[in-house]
Chains A and B, each alone.
Chain A
């Protein structure tokens, strides 16, 4: 509020009655929608009270006692006599007299020479239009919504941090377990072999059968641990980008993959040379092809691998090479299409995907057929995820045989 500027001239007689100044004050305050004004003496006792809200400050009472907002401002009010250009100003207050909202007022205390008393003015808050109140409602609602949003964001961030930590712990655990358990397993294999040698021709048929079972289960456990180690290692190794001839890579995998003579592997499409991470790409295709071969349920079948670089997929987060592995095997029922990407989960329906249990020659690893531990597709999924790609399985055995795995391999894989 602008300090009170009396209109008297410099020749004003300080001994003259204060009436002209009072009239000036009234004129000034009337422009500010005055509710009341009070005169207080040096002890801050109300001596005169005028106006509609005058009952807030009864005569002969201490002004700070009756006008509660002034409590604590006694010194500042008295200091006005030393610095008369100042005003004690408390804007936008409501002195609550009951549950109904009291009028909003500004309290201003003045002293100007040659006044003998302090003038306390209670004026209406005129800057708060209905529009402004509405605006404040909206601001309040927005602030609350913002803080609720922030709260949710914080919750998600906390949950993500916890999830990352737990995943890290799990991977570390799997890595340590799979690595450390291999040592006693190797010892078990050696001891079984020694036992078989020691028994020689004295071994009964039943004992030999049991030894064979021990060796078979040992080999199976060893495969599982190796796979688990591979699974836990994804993302741990420092991979480097290199130029990869994708046709040569796939041809190499196809050539080295043991398979029944009736199962054919064919490469189709245009195979690009790309700058990428070789080892993860190798893991993905090797396991997809192994899966297609292992789980084929007929003596003859066809597996086709296609590259379609000209249809490089553009998504919000970048460009992807598109590859596809398609087989004419039994397919994967819809109910199992999520579970097959979990480690050591296999489709249980033997008629659909037979489990190739070993009838291997005793203690002869080289002669054993490939073991199915059920981690191949989990390795593929985790590897594709780790480089920022996508893996899409399409299969509907109720209507057609076969499964199709589409691999969207990022042009810029995550390192």
Chain B
């Protein structure tokens, strides 16, 4: 089994814990408490989902060690021991709160500075709360990004598995 450390980053209340719990346990609740410190999850990737993401699964299996961080860290996370040897980051924002999307851009910049060349994905969560056919007014850096950008809903489960498997596939392609 090859393991890769993936950081879940984003402002308070954007749904990081909801995303990882939807992935791990297929659950969604509205009463999760704030993450204090870090919660660490081990997720074994689904070979079929990896293949669907364009990456032939490794024979020995692929494990994501997901670090669900406390949103209070903000950009100070990059100075913390927690982030050491991260293979990738999933940077989460709230589709209904523009300031959290601005934070996504800052966190992406911080991650690129700390880990040049390593992959990260933008995940815009809570898309179920957007009005149908009204695209969110995103920061320019997000709207025109060439990095992975996935709209999810932890509530409905839409694209949650895809977000983690696309990230895993990118890690495998880059062999980090």
> Footprint of B on A, CB under 8 Å?
65, 68-69, 71-73, 76, 89-96, 98-99, 101, 104, 125, 128, 133, 136-137, 139-140, 143-144, 147-148, 150-151, 154
Chain A residues whose CB sits within 8 angstroms of the CB of B42 once the complex forms: 68
Q: Is the CB of A90 within 8 A of B85?
A: no
Known contacts A72-B5, A72-B85, A94-B40; is-contact A99 B13 (Cβ 8 Å): no
Q: Is the CB of B33 within 8 A of A133?
A: yes
Q: Is the CB of A147 within 8 A of B99?
A: yes
Q: Is the CB of A151 within 8 A of B36?
A: no
Chain A residues whose CB sits within 8 angstroms of the CB of B97 once the complex forms: 144, 147-148, 151
Chain B residues whose CB sits within 8 angstroms of the CB of A95 once the complex forms: 40
Known contacts A68-B40, A94-B38, A99-B25; is-contact A151 B12 (Cβ 8 Å): no
Nearest CB of A to B16, in Å: 12
Q: Is the CB of A96 within 8 A of B99?
A: no
**B81: interface (CB < 8 Å):** yes
Q: How far is the CA of A328 from the CA of B115 in the complex (A)?
A: 80
B16-29 interface mask toward A, CB cutoff 8 Å, 1 = contact, 0 = none? 00000100110100
Q: How far is the CA of A386 from the CA of B81 in the complex (A)?
A: 59
Nearest CB of B to A153, in Å: 10
Q: How far is the CA of A8 from the CA of B41 in the complex (A)?
A: 40
Q: Is the CB of B13 within 8 A of A140?
A: yes
Known contacts A90-B81, A92-B38, A140-B12; is-contact A71 B65 (Cβ 8 Å): yes
Known contacts A71-B5, A143-B11; is-contact A151 B98 (Cβ 8 Å): yes
Q: Is the CB of A68 within 8 A of B33?
A: no
Chain A residues whose CB sits within 8 angstroms of the CB of B48 once the complex forms: none
Q: Is the CB of A93 within 8 A of B37?
A: yes
Known contacts A99-B27, A147-B11; is-contact A94 B71 (Cβ 8 Å): no
Q: How far is the CA of A222 from the CA of B94 in the complex (A)?
A: 56
Nearest CB of A to B34, in Å: 4
**B46: interface (CB < 8 Å):** no
Chain B interface: which size bin? 20 to 34
Q: Is the CB of B85 within 8 A of A73?
A: yes
Q: How far is the CA of A143 from the CA of B24 in the complex (A)?
A: 27
Please count the residue pairs between chain A and chain B whose beta carbons lie under 8 angstroms apart in the complex: 85
Chain B residues whose CB sits within 8 angstroms of the CB of A73 once the complex forms: 81, 84-85
**B100: interface (CB < 8 Å):** yes
Nearest CB of A to B97, in Å: 5
Q: Is the CB of B33 within 8 A of A150?
A: no
Chain B residues whose CB sits within 8 angstroms of the CB of A76 once the complex forms: 84
Q: Is the CB of B13 within 8 A of A143?
A: yes
> Footprint of A on B, CB under 8 Å?
3, 5, 11-13, 21, 24-25, 27, 33-34, 36-42, 65, 71-72, 81-82, 84-86, 94, 96-100
Q: Is the CB of B3 within 8 A of A136?
A: no
Q: How far is the CA of A101 from the CA of B40 in the complex (A)?
A: 11
Nearest CB of A to B154, in Å: 14
Of A104, A143, A154, most buried by chain B (CB within 10 Å of CB) is A143
Q: Is the CB of A96 within 8 A of B39?
A: yes
Q: How far is the CA of A147 from the CA of B96 in the complex (A)?
A: 10
Chain A residues whose CB sits within 8 angstroms of the CB of B39 once the complex forms: 93-94, 96, 101
Q: Who on chain B is nearest to A146 by CB?
A: B99
Q: Is the CB of A139 within 8 A of B38?
A: no
Chain A residues whose CB sits within 8 angstroms of the CB of B11 once the complex forms: 143, 147
Q: Who on chain B is nearest to A145 by CB?
A: B13
Chain B residues whose CB sits within 8 angstroms of the CB of A93 once the complex forms: 37-40
